[in-house]
A and B are shown apart, each in its own frame.
Chain A
Amino acid sequence: MNFLGNTLLELKDISKTYGENQVLNKVSFAVEKGEILCLLGENGAGKSTLMNILFGMPVIHSTGGFSGEVYLDGQLIDINTPEKAMEYGIGMVHQEFMLIPGYTVAENIKLNREILKDNPFSRVFGKDFKTLDMKTMNKDARTALDKLEIGIDEISKVDGLPVGYMQFVEIAREIDKKNIKVLVFDEPTAVLTESEADNLIKAMKFLANQGIAIIFITHRLDEVIACSQHVVILRDGGLVASKKTSDTNTVELAELMVGRKIEKLVSKEEGRDVEHAEVILSMKDFKVGMPGELVKGVNLDVRRGEILGIAGLAGQGKIGIANGLMGLFPAKGEVILNGMPLVLNNPMASLKRRLAFVSEDRKGVGLLLDEPIDLNIAITSMQVKNDFLKRILFMNQMDTVRIRKHAKEMVKLFDIRCTGTDQNTRRLSGGNQQKVCLARAITLDPEILMVSEPTRGIDIGAKKLVLDTLIDLNREKNMTIIMTSSELGELRSICDRIAIVSEGKLVGILKPEDHDAKYGLFMSGNTDIPVEVQ
C-alpha cells in the first residue's frame, strides 16, 4: 500500500553557513507520503545540520539562519522553533534517548503533552494545578505501543528497559502525537543489536504504510536497501545523488558516499618499499575502554617507516587505538613494540618507548592553555627525558634560554603565528594551536608519531602545512606515523596503507588507490560484497 506521487515535504535549495564554513550548499529533495527516504552521508556531510533546520533548532537561528525554502503539503512554512516543527507534525526519534529514567513508559510518551483533568484546586487556582489523567494517558500509550506491536508494559519504569526497547518508547512518543506527518530517525540502529534493528525497520515500514513520511538517517548500507524507496546522498554539504532504491545497490551507494577526487600529495616513489619492512608495532586483541570510541579487539601490525592511516566512522573506535597505545584510557591486550612488550596503561612507559601522540582533544589533552608556547613545546620532553633542565644549587631548574631558543626554531619551522613564544596558547587560532601540539610531539624525537584528527577545525593553509610536515618527518627522519582521521581524502593523500575500523574491530586494510566503493563498504562494516574495479 503506497501513496507514491503525493509530495508531503519538500526542501528547496537549502544552504547554510557557519561563519565562513559552508556546511550545506543548495540541497533540495522531497519526501512523499508513506515513503521511507534514506539520508546517507559521512560524518560532516551535513545531515545533522539539515535535520536541525527541519526542526527549527536554536543553533541554526542563533548562527544567522539558513537560506532556502521548506514546503509542507505544498505550503511554504517557516519553522523557527522546535515547537513550531511539532505543530506542523514533524517528529524526531533521537539517537541518544531523550527519556526520563524515573518515569514510566506512559509518562515518558506523554511528556509535556499530558492529559489533564480538573480538580477542586485547579478550578480555583487555574490550569497549572490540574491533575494528570493517568488512566487515559496509559490507554493512549498502550495504543501507541500496540501500533508498533511491541509488548512493553506501559506502567513499567524506563530505568530497567533494554536499550532496544527505549528506542521504541521514543517512537511511540512520536506516533502518539495525533498530527504526526513526517518522522525523522537519526541513526536509530547504531545502538541496536541486529534483531532489534530488524524490529525497528519493521516498525518503520508499518508507520510508512499508515501514510507517515519517514526520513531515515543511517550508515548501514544494507538497511538502506532493505527498507527504503528513495536514497538521498550528501557529501561535503552538497547533494550528490537522489535515487530510487530499486535502481541502485550497496556498491554504488558506498562509492557515492565516499567518492571524491584524491589529491596525491606524494607520488609513487622509486625504491620506497614499506610493505615489506619489519613490523615495528604489533597489536594483538587490543581493547581500549575509551567512552564513545570503544576498541573491541584489534589485531594490527605497523611497519617501520610507513604512514598508516586509521579510518572509520565516528564512534566506531578508530580514535581509541592511539589513545589506548598512549595509556590515556584503560587498555587490554598484547602490544609488541620493537620486539619487546609495551607496558599498557602507563603514559610514561609509552613516552619512554618513544611513542608520541598528538591528541584529537587539542584543548584538553594537547595544550596547557594558560601557559606560554615555549613551555608547552618543552614540558613533555622535560618530564620524559629530563631535557631543557639545568642545575642551580641542589635543584634542577628549567633552562629558559634553551626552551625559548627551541620554541623560536619551532615557531619558524611551523610558521606559528603568534606575538612571541611567551604568548599563552589559549589566544592562538586552532591551526596554530595544532602546530604547537605537533611541535611538542616532535620535540620528543619519537620513533612512532601518532596523530589524531590533525586537521580538524583548521584552515586550508595550516592543513597543508601539517600534512607536508608529516610527510617530511616520515621521509627524512624515517619516522613511523599512525594517522587517525575522519577525513578519508586526507588519509588517502598521504598514507601508505589505511586500516578501516568499524564497531571497534579492524575490518580490513586498504591501499589509498583502492576503489571508493570498497572504502564505503568497509566503513559500514561490509567486506563480503565484491567490488568490480572499473
Chain B
Amino acid sequence: MKDKLSHLIKNIGIPRITIVTLLIVIYIAAYYLGLNVPSLFSDNLVRMGMNGILVLAMVPGILSGTGLNFGLPLGVICGIIGGLISIEFHVTGLLGLLLAIIVSIPLSVITGYLYGLLLNRVKGSEMMVGTYVGFSVVSLMCIAWLVMPFKSDAIRWPIGDGLRTTITLTGYYDKVLDRFLAFPIGGVEVPTGLLLFFFFMCYMMYLFLRSKTGLAMVATGSSNKFAKASGINVDKSRLISTVISTALGAIGILVYAQSYGFFQLYTAPLMMAFGAVAAILLGGASAHNAKIVHVILGVFIFQGLLLAALPVANVIFPQGNLSEVMRVVVQYGIILYALTKAGGGH
C-alpha cells in the first residue's frame, strides 16, 4: 500500500501535486470569499481550450530535440495575418475562422521552414536563439503592421495609416467555437466546440507521433546518433517539427482570438511563447520529453491558477494597483517554478 502510494506520487511528480494542491486551495478560498466559483470554473475551461493549441505547439519541438519553441510568436503572427485576410474579405462565422486557418497554414509552413533552417544551424542553443528570433520578428512586424495594404475599416485606423492595435471580432467569428454546442451544467457553461477542437488537435498530434515521420522525429530527439544510424535525416526531422510547431502556433492564435474576441497586433505576440512553455512544463514535460497528457493537464492547471488567483488576490488586496502586481508576480512565479521543477513525472 505504502509502496503503491509512493509509486503514484513518483508517477505524478511532486511539482504537479504541489501546483494542483495550490489550485484547489485557491478555488476553496474563492468559495469562502464569496466569489462565483462555477463561473470561475467555466472561464477556466474556456482558457484551457483557447490556450491549448498554443501549448500543443510545444510538443513537436520538445520531441525532436529542438527544445521548447520560444519562437512561437512567428506562428502567432502568421495566424494573425490569416485572420486579418479573412476579415478583409468579410467572411464571417465558422467559415471565416476556417478561411483564416486555411490561409495561415501555408504562411506558417513557409515561415516555419525558414525558421527551422535557422535552428539547424544553431544546434544546442535553439531555445536562446528562438527567443530572440521571436523578439526581433515581433519588432519587425510592428513596422509591417503600419504599412500592410489592408482596406477593411475593421482593420485600419479610421484616421491616419496602419492597422489598429486591437481588432475586434464581433460580427466576424467572435466565440464561434465557444458557442458551438455549448451547454450549461450546474452553473458551469461548457464551451463544447472549443474543447472538441482542442481535443481533436491533440488526437491528430497523437496519431502523428505514431506515424513513420513522427517516430523518426521522436528518435531524432532521443538520440541524434541513433537516428542517423537508422537512416533518419536528422535535419529534416527537426525541420518538420519546427514547421508543425509554427503551424500549430498559427492555428492556436486563431482559436485563442475567436474566444478572446480580438486580434492583438504590434507587441502583443511578444510573450505568447512563455505562457505556453510554462503550461507544458507544469504539466510534467521536460525540455526533452513531452506527452499529450502533459499538454492537457498543464494548460488546465496553469490557466486555472492565473485565472483564479487574480480575483482572490483582488479580494485579499483591495488596493487597485496591488492586485495587478500580484497577477504578474503569480504568473511569472509559476513560470519560474515550472522551469526549475520541470520533469519528475513519467
A326: Cβ under 8 A from any B Cβ: yes
Quick check: which of B160-168, B214-222, B249-257 contacts chain A, the rest being far away?
B214-222
Restricting to B234-287, which residues have a CB under 8 Å from any CB of A? none
Indicate if the CB atoms of A396 and B211 lie closer than 8 Å.
yes
Indicate if the CB atoms of A396 and B233 lie closer than 8 Å.
no
B136: Cβ under 8 A from any A Cβ: no
4 more CB-based (< 8 A) A-B contacts, given A365-B229, A368-B219, A379-B230: A347-B230, A364-B223, A365-B225, A398-B211
Query: Which residue of chain A has its CB nearest to the CB of B207?
Result: A395
- B218 interface neighbour in A328, A350, A371, A386, Cβ under 8 Å: A371
Indicate if the CB atoms of B231 and A347 lie closer than 8 Å.
yes
Query: Which residue of chain B has its CB nearest to the CB of A346?
Result: B231
The verdict on A328 contacting B228 (CB below 8 Å), with A370-B289, A383-B216 known, is yes
Query: Which residue of chain B has its CB nearest to the CB of A440?
Result: B230
Q: How far is the CB of B305 from chain A (nearest CB, A)?
A: 29
A168: Cβ under 8 A from any B Cβ: no
Complex alpha-carbon distance, A357 and B228, angstroms: 12
Number of interface residues of B (CB under 8 A): 20
Restricting to A162-213, which residues have a CB under 8 Å from any CB of B? none
8 A–B contacts, CB within 8 A, in A order: A367-B226, A368-B222, A371-B222, A380-B229, A383-B230, A383-B231, A395-B211, A397-B210
Complex alpha-carbon distance, A285 and B270, angstroms: 55
Query: Which residue of chain A has its CB nearest to the CB of B231?
Result: A348
B232: Cβ under 8 A from any A Cβ: yes
Complex alpha-carbon distance, A395 and B222, angstroms: 23
B208: Cβ under 8 A from any A Cβ: yes
0 or 1 for each of A377-399: is its CB under 8 Å from B? (1 = yes): 00110111010010010011110
Complex alpha-carbon distance, A380 and B228, angstroms: 10
Indicate if the CB atoms of B231 and A380 lie closer than 8 Å.
yes
- B219 interface neighbour in A350, A379, A386, A396, Cβ under 8 Å: A379
Indicate if the CB atoms of B230 and A369 lie closer than 8 Å.
no
Q: How far is the CB of B226 from chain A (nearest CB, A)?
A: 6
Indicate if the CB atoms of A347 and B229 lie closer than 8 Å.
yes
Indicate if the CB atoms of A364 and B225 lie closer than 8 Å.
yes
Q: Which residues in A have their C-beta under 8 angstroms from that of B207?
A: 392, 395, 397
Q: How far is the CB of B247 from chain A (nearest CB, A)?
A: 16
0 or 1 for each of B182-225: is its CB under 8 Å from A? (1 = yes): 00000000000000000000000001101110011011001101
Query: Which residue of chain B has its CB nearest to the CB of A397?
Result: B210
Query: Which residue of chain A has its CB nearest to the CB of B232?
Result: A383
Q: Which residues in B have their C-beta under 8 angstroms from that of A357?
A: 229
Q: How far is the CB of B59 from chain A (nearest CB, A)?
A: 16
Q: How far is the CB of B289 from chain A (nearest CB, A)?
A: 7
Indicate if the CB atoms of B231 and A384 lie closer than 8 Å.
yes
Restricting to A350-380, which residues have a CB under 8 Å from any CB of B? 350-352, 357, 359, 361, 364-371, 375, 379-380
Q: How far is the CB of B251 from chain A (nearest CB, A)?
A: 18
Q: How far is the CB of B278 from chain A (nearest CB, A)?
A: 24
Indicate if the CB atoms of B215 and A382 lie closer than 8 Å.
yes
